Amino acid sequence: MEAAQELSACSITSAPGASSVHESAPGASSVHESAPGASSVHESAPGASSVHESAPGASSVHESAPGASSVHESAPGASSVHESAPGASSVHESAPGASSVHESAPGASSVHESAPGASSVHESAPGASSVHESAPGASSVHESAPGASSVHESAPGASSVHESAPGASSVHESAPGASSVHESAPGASSVHESAPGASSVHESAPGASSVHESAPGASSVHESAPGASSVHESAPGASSVHESAPGASSVHESAPGASSVHESAPGASSVHESAPGASSVHESAPGASSVHESAPEASPVHESAPVPCPLVASRGLSCP
């Protein structure tokens, strides 16, 4: 009885005042050796949690700097399978705060390397989105700078089929806090991706109505900059088959005040897309009437904003 009381009163090979299964400093809780106040399976500095050795406050399977979490070695606050800078999350090496399969700059999201805030399949300058490398401010079918719109990646505020900068709507990456079947900008409601407040079958910027991607207030079959209407990509206010300067007029896209066979700027009338006050067969800006998508106060067959009752009645429809 006395022997049992003796055993229950102390632990095996432990420092005075310590509580641990094996050896531990006073006040420490660890399965093996640990500094006071530390919790670790093996050796760990005080306050650290690691399977093997780790600096104080670090959590890592092997060695890691304080506050770092990595399978092998990692800088403090970093989380990476191998080596990574602090605060970075990457399968291999990555800069702090970056999320990438390989190397990526902080805050960047890319399959390989990308500058901060950039979204690209490979490398891209900050804020730029491109299939390969692209300088900021450029507009091309592949690489594009911020504010540009391209067939693939596009800068912030742009809408593209693949990667897109913050606030963009894309088939793959999209801004955080979005709600959509896949990825979408925050507060957006769409079958696929769509910007906040937008109504579109696929991607669309806020307030925009388009079958695919479109900038705010713009109406386009694919991607278009804000206020622009284009079959593909166009700079803000500009309309062109690909990229065009504002104020230009072309067979496809056209600048503000211009009239073209396809897209047209505000006040213009076109067969397909049209700016505000225009009437078009497909997409149209606010106050327009369109068969498909239309801006607020329009009455389309698919997506549209609320329509005044007299306008509904004039079309032979019943008022709600």
What is the edge-to-edge ordering of all strands in the sheet holding 89-90?
69-70, 79-80, 89-90, 99-100, 109-110, 119-120
45, 59 Cβ separation under 8 angstroms = no
Is residue 171 domain-resident? Answer: yes
CA distances from 89 to 76, 108, 121, 122 (A): 12, 10, 17, 17
pLDDT single digits (tens) 273-284: 333 333 333 333
Is residue 203 domain-resident? Answer: yes
pLDDT single digits (tens) 138-156: 333 333 333 333 333 333 3
Whole-number Å distance between alpha carbons of 113 and 132: 10
Whole-number Å distance between alpha carbons of 294 and 309: 17
Share of the chain above pLDDT 70, in %: 0
Is residue 301 domain-resident? Answer: no
Is residue 130 domain-resident? Answer: no
Is residue 290 domain-resident? Answer: no
Three-state secondary structure of the chain:
CHHHHHHHHCCCCCCCCCCCCCCCCCCCCCCCCCCCCCCCCCCCCCCCCCCCCCCCCCCCCCCCCCCCEECCCCCCCCEECCCCCCCCEECCCCCCCCEECCCCCCCCEECCCCCCCCEECCCCCCCCECCCCCCCCCECCCCECCCCCCCCCECCCCECCCCECCCCECCCCCCCCECCCCCCCECCCCCCCCCCCCCCCCCCCCCCCCCCCCCCCCCCCCCCCCCCCCCCCCCCCCCCCCCCCCCCECCCCECCCCCCCCCCCCCCCCCCCCCCCCCCCCCCCCCCCCCCCCCCCCCCCCCCCCCCHHHHHHCCCCCC
For the whole model, what pTM was predicted? 0.12
pLDDT single digits (tens) 82-92: 333 433 333 33
The confidence band for 316, taking pLDDT boundaries of 50, 70 and 90, is low
Is residue 215 domain-resident? Answer: yes
| Residues in Cβ contact with 200 at an 8 Å cutoff, skipping those fewer than 6 apart | 190, 194, 208, 209, 210, 211, 212, 213, 214, 293, 303
Is residue 98 domain-resident? Answer: no
Burial classification of residue 308, based on how many CB atoms lie within 10 Å of its CB (0-12 exposed, 13-18 middle, 19 or more buried)? exposed
Residue 210: domain span: 159-223
Across-strand partners of 254? 249
What does the buried/exposed string (b/e) look like for 117-150 if buried means 16 or more CB atoms within 10 Å of the residue's CB?
bbbbbbbbbbbbbbbebbebebbbeebbbbbbbb
In sign, the C-alpha dihedral spanning 269, 274, 276, 279 is: positive
Share of the chain above pLDDT 90, in %: 0
The confidence band for 73, taking pLDDT boundaries of 50, 70 and 90, is very low
Give me 37's structure tokens: 């106040």
Tokens 């300088």, residue located: 135
pLDDT at residue 289, rounded to an integer: 33
pLDDT at residue 176, rounded to an integer: 34
Is residue 178 domain-resident? Answer: yes
| Chain mean pLDDT for the chain | 36
Highest mean pLDDT among 2-6, 99-103, 185-189, 262-266: 2-6
Indicate the number of domains in the chain: 1
